[in-house]
Amino acid sequence: MKIIPAIDLMNGEVVRLFKGDPNQKTVYSKNPVEIAKKWEDSGADMLHLVDLDATIGLGENYETIREISKNISIPVQVAGGLRDITKIASTLDFAERVVIGTLAMQLKQSEQEQILLEMISQFGKQRLVVSIDHVNGEIVTHGWQKNTGVKLLNATNEFTNDGFSEFLTTNVSKDGTLEGPDIMSLKQICQINGTNIIASGGISKLEDVEEIKKCNPYGVILGKALYEGLISIEEAKTI
């Protein structure tokens, strides 16, 4: 199981949000490159870089993300506002993987699966991570602001049938709360054949990481608990 610290960016600063609410943010650093190097030195397997401004349409942190990738040697996975193929292609020039959620769901719901298949052919399924973020088991998009009404299990199965294998899941109601992860939903989707699931949201202690690992996911994202010093990358890697 890969240990993947998150670096969430707003206005060039490293922040964490509470339940995805941009009005409830905590700033942890004004130097994202320094934070990235810190997590790399601590043994992170990959970094999850999130452009929150791009996600909610308030601007972007694209150059900051590219600068981070240039200054570290471990892979980066980029998320946030990647809603057209040109932007995805330019991001994959320096990133190992990109996360698509809103775009993937929009194409799915408008019955344009052919574009999704073309993306897999162009970029490779290992480099395209579908975010299946949810509230009460229903997929949300547009920076977690829009409920699609699509069930988590149904969406995961459908994207898997399309040829996707890499997924990122967050129970939004858990994110940034330190209330513990949504093990029940994680267990269900990890059992779907052909999926590599990254778990995110709610982690507050080492025991949470242990519970997640029992579901056999591809990786786990560490966010607020890491920044608050409640857990360390070194500890997580011993599990």
**What's the rounded Cα separation, in Å, for the pair 59 and 12?**
10
Catalytic residues: 8, 133
The pLDDT score that the predictor gives to residue 40 is 98
Instruction: Check whether 174 has a pLDDT greater than 90.
Output: no
pTM for the full predicted model:
0.95
Which domain CATH number covers 135?
3.20.20.70
Rounded to a whole number of angstroms, the distance between the first and last alpha carbons of the chain is: 9
Strand residues in 75-133 grouped as ranges (E): 76-79, 97-100, 128-131
Per the structure, the complete domain to which residue 168 belongs is given by 2-236
More confidently predicted of 226 and 142: 226
DSSP-derived pairing of the beta strands 138-141 and 134-135: antiparallel
pLDDT digits (tens, 9 = 90+) for 142-160: 888 889 999 999 999 999 9
CB 120 within 8 A of CB 164: yes
Question: How many distinct structural domains can be found in the chain?
Answer: 1
The pLDDT score that the predictor gives to residue 173 is 85
Q: How confident is the model at residue 20 (pLDDT cuts 50, 70, 90)?
A: confident
The pLDDT score that the predictor gives to residue 145 is 84
